[in-house]
Amino acid sequence: MTVSLGEIAARYGCELHGDPDTGVTHVATLSAAGPGSITFLANKSYRPQLGDTQAAAVILSAEDVADCPVAALVSPNPYAVYARVATELHPLYDAGPGIDVRASIGAGCTIPDSCQIAAGAVLEDGVVLGERVGIGPNSVVGRDTSIGDDTRLMANVTIYHGVRIGQRCLVHSGVVIGADGFGIAREEQGWTKVPQVGGVDIADDVEIGANTTIDRGAIDDTVICAGVKLDNQIQIAHNVRVGAHTAMAALVGVSGSTTIGANCLIGGASIVAGHISICDHVMLAAGTGVANSITKPGAYGGWPANVDEIGRWRKNVIRYGQLDEMARRVRKLEKQLRDMSDDP
């Protein structure tokens, strides 16, 4: 597929510096770009590569345009424009509709003709799919689960029974949605399992990374709101609620019955305790451990257990690296004072 710079400029509201008839066919990095490719500059650290780029065009912001040696598409949000151009040039592969003869379909399923069900996929009884849903090879969808239009499960995904997934979601391989939450009650002879009778409710436009797990609710549902983006190997416990458009990097863990607000950014490998809430518009640095509710929007970091406003936390981090030195200084002070009082 070829798209002209003129079309791109018009479609995404960019100011074009260059020939509108120049066509691009694929994306590339600044440094590896060659003829016919389009690239972007959105992260300052790659700016030194701009002057030597061989791309046909670069999407960038106004401040960088003067140094661009090739055609430029100027936007206040170059990365978003790049995302949209890349989506046009590299559409998701579509195997076309149909049910593979090696798929296994339960009784009473609703499967529109526009769906694609791959080899080895297993749909248990009563599964309801919307239009153009894709179920990848060897993925399993449990009883009475419903999946909205244009949602796609990649290979080896597992969805338990009674889960609801919205439209235009993308679920990567190894994801498990709807497994039992960790509910156990202590009795004298050991643990008694607490049945997990809630479901999982995932809204529209959610993407879920490889091997992430989202447990079903203990009684009510676990809820993932619209536009949430989850990276790989995240753990969402039972009855968690994640607000709209919140994004979490890989390896995050959220404990049971915790509410995370909308438009939050949760750094990788952060952990959040159970039964607390984090308000909207909170940013957590990577590796943060949140033990108590956060009620004020802002950026936070900190570990273990005491989360701080991020500036204060960064100072403490530096001090941590000086702890041994500080301890020696305290000891020296003590000695000086002792000497002074011994020798009045």
What is the size of the binding site for its own copies (CB under 8 A)? 123
Partnered with residue 144 across adjacent β-strands are none
Query: What residues numbered 216-235 form the site for its own copies, per CB under 8 A?
Result: 219-220, 226-227, 229, 231-233, 235
Among candidate residues 187, 119, 114, the one with its CA nearest the CA of residue 147: 114
Q: Whose structure tokens read 């809430």?
A: 277
Among candidate residues 309, 299, 302, the one with its CA nearest the CA of residue 287: 302
334 binds its own copies (CB under 8 A): yes
14 binds its own copies (CB under 8 A): no
Per DSSP, helices labelled H in 180-306 are: none
C-alpha 237/C-alpha 215 separation (Å) is: 5
> What's the distance, CA 173 to chain centroid?
14
Least CB distance from residue 188 to its own copies, whole Å? 9
Query: What residues numbered 46-75 form the site for its own copies, per CB under 8 A?
Result: none
C-alpha 112/C-alpha 126 separation (Å) is: 14
User: Measured from the CB atom, is 66 or 323 closer to its own copies?
Assistant: 323
**Residue 70, both tokens:** 């090739």
Which x/- pattern over 282-311 shows residues binding its own copies (rule: CB under 8 A)? ---xxx-x-x---------xxxxxx-x---
* Helix (H/G/I), strand (E/B), else coil: 313: helix
Least CB distance from residue 263 to its own copies, whole Å? 9
176 binds its own copies (CB under 8 A): yes
Choice from 63, 113, 190, 343 touching its own copies (CB under 8 A)? 190
244 binds its own copies (CB under 8 A): yes
Least CB distance from residue 120 to its own copies, whole Å? 5
User: Measured from the CB atom, is 31 or 146 closer to its own copies?
Assistant: 31
26 is catalytic: no
- Which DSSP state fits 92? P
Active site residues: 238
